[in-house]
Structure 1
Amino acid sequence: MRRKLICGTLAGLILVALALAASCRSDGNDSQERRNEARTPDEKTEEGRSVTGPVKIGFAMDTLIEERWPRDRELFRQAVESLGAEVEITVASGDDALQIKQAETMISEGVDLLVIVPHDAEATAAIVKKAHAAGIKVMAYDRLVKNAEIDFYVSFDNEKVGELQAKAITALVPKGRYVYIGGAETDYNAHLIKKGVFKVLQPLIDSGDITVVYDQWTADWVPTNAQTNMESALKANRNRIDAVIAANDATAGGAVAALAAHGLAGRIPVAGQDADLPAARRIAEGTQTMTVYKPIRTLAETAAGLAVAMARGEKVEADLMLNNGKIEVPSVLLSPIAVDRSNIEETIIADGFHSWDDVFRQDRRP
C-alpha cells in the first residue's frame, strides 16, 4: 500500500513539473509557435516553418510618392498571392520611427518573413534585429539595409545604373562642366548610383576634360529639393553648365524645371533613372536625354518567389555576396537597361510599362 502511495505521489509530482515547465517556457520562439498552431504536424519543418501550408509575408515599404512604388506594391502583392501565400503591406511615408513601429506590429502578429524597402538604410537595422529575435528572416527589397545581419537582398545593380547614366552623357558631352544631383543621402542606393557615375567620370575628371562644378544630395528624393539644388548650381556657375546627371527621374524632373526657368531645357543633356512616365514624356519631347529602365515586374516577381520559398524553409540561391558594412549578404541583382529616344519603343513601351499614347501624346504620329 505504501509503495502504491509513493508511486502515485511521484507520478503526480512529475505531471505538475511538466505542466509548470510548459506554462513557464519563454525561449524567444513563442511567436513562431503561435504561427504554427493552425498548421498540421506534416506541414511543419524542424524549424517550425511550413513547407506546404500557407505562409504570410510582411512588406514594409518606405513610400508611395514616386510613380514606381505603387507599381512595386501591387506587383509584389499579386506575385505573392499567386504562389498561394498571404501578404500584409505597410507604408511609412518616409518616417523612420513609423516604419520601425509598423514592422514591429507585423513581427508581433507573426508574419513568416519580413521584406523591407528601407527609408534609412542605417535606422532599419533595428527592424532586422527585432525580427531575428522572433525567429523571422528579413529580405531587403531594392534598397540594402546597412550594418545588419540581413538574410537576403534583391535589387537591380544600382552601381551599373550610375555607369549607364554617365556613359550616355559622356558620349554626348565628352568635355565640359557637369552637375550631379544626387538622391537621398539616407538611401544606400543613392550612394551606389553615385559610385557608378563617378567610376565613369573620374578618368575624365583626372584628365581635365570634365569638371564637376556642383555635387549635392537631394533630401528624400523630393523633386522640389532637386529643383532648388539645380537653381543653386545655375546661379553659382552663371548658367555655364554643359551636362546634368540626376540620381532618378524625380530629381531629373526638378533639374529640368530649373533649366526651363532659364530657357535651357532641351539644350543641356539630363540623365535620370526609373523610366517614370513624366521622364518618358520628357525624353519624347527632348528635355531629358535618357533614363535607366528597371523592369519592376521582374524585381517584384523575383523577390516574391524568393520570399515565399524562404518562408517555407526552402533553400534559395544567391548570385553574389554584397557587403553591407557588417556581413556579406546573399544577393540577387537584376540588370538595368539604358533608354533614350532611339529605343524607348522597344523597351518600356514594348514591355507594356507605359503605352505609346501615354508617352507620345504630344508627339502623335500622322
Structure 2
Amino acid sequence: MNRHRTTETEEVDEVDEVAEGKAHRRRTVPALLLAAGLALTSGLAACGEAAEVRDPQTRTARDSRTVGLLLPDSTNRFAEFDRPLIERRVAELCPECDVEFASAQADVATQQRQLDAMITKGVRVIILDAVDSKSLSSSVDRARRAGIEVIAYDRLVEGPVSAYVSFDGERVGRLQGEALLRALGDEARDGQIVMMNGAATDPNSAWFKEGALAALEGKVTIGKAYDTAEWRPVNAHVNMAGAIASLGADEIDGVYSANDGLAAGIISALKAAKIHPLPPVTGQDAELAGIQRIVAGDQYMTVYKPFRLEANAAAEMAVALVRGGTPYGIATGTVDSPTTPDIPSVLLTPIAVTADTIEETVVKDGVYTVDQICTPRYADACERAGLTPPSPAP
C-alpha cells in the first residue's frame, strides 16, 4: 500500500512537549477498575529544594499527616488530571491530611532534590512518578530509612517502594499494535511500518514495546524502529524524517507511535515530506490534541487510561499508609521491580479510542466535552465524525 506525494502545501503541526508512558512487568493479572467520582480541584503546595537532607536515623514522626506528591512534569495530563484528582481524593478520605506537591519539569536532578527536601520536611508518604526509574533509587532508599513510605505512581521506580499504581503496559502496547493491524487490513501482510518507541531509560517503554511486538511481529514488516530519547516529540520528528529518507515516502504504510506526543512529531514529519494520505499512526494518553488529530483523520487511534481510577487508587493507598495501615486491601496483585519483589499493586485496564469511540469513552467519562474537542478548526471534521454538542436544555 504505497503512499504518494502531493504538491499541495501541508500544514506542519506544532510539536508540543509531552510526557510519558507507564509500567513494569506484572506478576499477577489484576485489572480491577476502582470506582470513584471525577472531581478537579487545584491547590498550591510548593516543595523547595533543600540542601540538607534529614539523617535517615531521624525517622519521620508516625503522627505526620503530610502526603508528598512528586510528578515528573507539568504537562496537561499531570496538571489537569493526576494532581487535582489525587489532592481531591486525599482530602475526601483524610481531611486532616496535607498534600505537598512539586513538579520536576522533566529533570532528574530537580526531582532528586525535591524528594530529599520532602525527607527533610518529614512527610509521611510520598507518591512518586519518577522522571528516571533508576536514578531515584538511592533517594527512595533514604526515604524508607527515614520511615517514609513511597508509592510508585504510573512508573515503577527502583528501590524499596511500598506500593505501585499504574496501567497494564503490555495491554497498552497490544491495543496499539492490534489497532494498527486493523487499520492496515489485508495490506498488512505486504506492508511496512515504522516503530517509534518511547525512551530507552523508561521501563514502561519496554513494556509497551513488548505488547506491541506481540501483536505486530510476523504480521507486518517493521522497516525501522527507534527508541525516542526523553519521549520528546521533536526527537520523534527527527527519527521519522530519517525513516522517510531511508525507506522512501511511498514505502511507509503505518507508524506505531508509543504515545500522542510522539505522534505529533511523527505526523509533522510526514506532512513536511508531503506524504498524502497520511498512513495510520497510533498513540497513547488520549490528550486533547491527540483526540483532535483523530477527529481530523491525521492520527488513527490513541489509548485512553482513566486517570481518575489511577489517581484514586494512589490516594487511597497513601491515606491507608498515613494512618498506619497497609496497601494490601487496595492492591489487586503484586509486581517485581529489579530491586524489590512482591510490591502490592493496582494495574488498571487501558481502552483503545478511535474516531468511532470518542463519544463513548473520553466524552462520556467527562474527560473532555464535545465543545472542547470541536473548536472552530475541527468543526467540519467533528460534524463528519458525528460529534455534536448536546442541545441546550429548554
Q: Which interval holds the TM-score relative to the shorter structure?
A: 0.7 to 0.9
- In structure 1, give the amino acid aligned to 2:333: L
Unaligned 5+ runs, structure 1 = 1-25, 36-48, 205-209
Q: CA deviation at 1:27?
A: 9.6
The yes-or-no answer on 1:359 pairing with 2:373 is yes
Residue in structure 1 matched with residue 59 of structure 2 by the alignment: 31
Corresponding residue to 1:233 among 243, 268, 274: 243
Residue in structure 2 matched with residue 335 of structure 1 by the alignment: 349
Q: Distance in 2 between matches of 1:272 and 1:94?
A: 20
- In structure 2, give the amino acid aligned to 1:31: R
Q: Distance in 2 between matches of 1:126 and 1:80?
A: 27
Q: Distance in 1 between matches of 2:253 and 2:262?
A: 17
The yes-or-no answer on 1:285 pairing with 2:313 is no
Query: Where does 1:163-312 land on structure 2 (aligned, <5 Å)?
Result: 163-173=174-184, 174-175=188-189, 176-204=191-219, 210-239=220-249, 240-264=251-275, 266-312=277-323
Query: Contact between 1:279 and 1:291, CA under 8 Å: does it hold in 2?
Result: yes
Corresponding residue to 1:142 among 121, 133, 154: 154
- In structure 1, give the amino acid aligned to 2:229: A
Residue in structure 2 matched with residue 152 of structure 1 by the alignment: 163
The yes-or-no answer on 1:57 pairing with 2:67 is yes
Structure 1 residues 203 and 59: alpha-carbon distance in aligned structure 2, compared to 1, 3 A threshold:
same
Corresponding residue to 2:115 among 103, 117, 130: 103
Report Cα offsets for 1:20-71 as digits up to 9, x if no partner. Answer: xxxxxx9955332xx3xxxxxxxxxxxxx34xxx711011111113x21212
Corresponding residue to 1:68 among 65, 70, 77: 77
For the residue of structure 2 that corresponds to 1:271, the secondary structure is coil
Query: Contact between 2:302 and 2:354, CA under 8 Å: does it hold in 1?
Result: yes
- In structure 2, give the amino acid aligned to 1:343: T
Query: Contact between 1:319 and 1:330, CA under 8 Å: does it hold in 2?
Result: yes
For the residue of structure 2 that corresponds to 1:307, the secondary structure is helix
Residue in structure 2 matched with residue 126 of structure 1 by the alignment: 138
Q: Cα RMSD between the aligned structures?
A: 1.8
Query: Contact between 2:56 and 2:143, CA under 8 Å: does it hold in 1?
Result: no
Q: CA deviation at 1:346?
A: 0.7
Report Cα offsets for 1:266-299 as digits up to 9, x if no partner. Answer: 5300000000001000100101000000011111
For the residue of structure 2 that corresponds to 1:30, the secondary structure is coil
Richer in helix (by share): 1
- In structure 1, give the amino acid aligned to 2:59: S
Query: Contact between 2:163 and 2:327, CA under 8 Å: does it hold in 1?
Result: no
Structure 1 residues 28 and 272: alpha-carbon distance in aligned structure 2, compared to 1, 3 A threshold:
closer
The yes-or-no answer on 1:113 pairing with 2:128 is no
Q: TM-score, normalised to structure 1's length?
A: 0.83
Query: Contact between 1:119 and 1:186, CA under 8 Å: does it hold in 2?
Result: no
Residue in structure 2 matched with residue 14 of structure 1 by the alignment: none
Q: CA deviation at 1:160?
A: 0.7
Residue in structure 1 matched with residue 29 of structure 2 by the alignment: none
Corresponding residue to 2:339 among 326, 337, 344: 326
Query: Contact between 2:244 and 2:252, CA under 8 Å: does it hold in 1?
Result: yes
Residue in structure 1 matched with residue 325 of structure 2 by the alignment: 314
Q: CA deviation at 1:169?
A: 0.6
Which 4+ residue blocks in structure 1 deviate beyond 4 angstroms? 26-29
For the residue of structure 2 that corresponds to 1:273, the secondary structure is coil
Unaligned 5+ runs, structure 2 = 1-53, 389-394
Report Cα offsets for 1:155-177 as digits up to 9, x if no partner. Answer: 01111100000011112223211
Q: CA deviation at 1:326?
A: 2.1
Q: CA deviation at 1:195?
A: 1.1
Q: CA deviation at 1:226?
A: 0.8
Q: Distance in 1 between matches of 2:130 and 2:257?
A: 21
Q: CA deviation at 1:349?
A: 0.8
Q: CA deviation at 1:98?
A: 1.4
- In structure 2, give the amino acid aligned to 1:129: D
- In structure 2, give the amino acid aligned to 1:359: I
Query: Contact between 2:176 and 2:352, CA under 8 Å: does it hold in 1?
Result: yes
- In structure 2, give the amino acid aligned to 1:357: D
- In structure 1, give the amino acid aligned to 2:121: E
Query: Contact between 2:292 and 2:373, CA under 8 Å: does it hold in 1?
Result: yes
Q: Distance in 2 between matches of 1:27 and 1:270?
A: 50
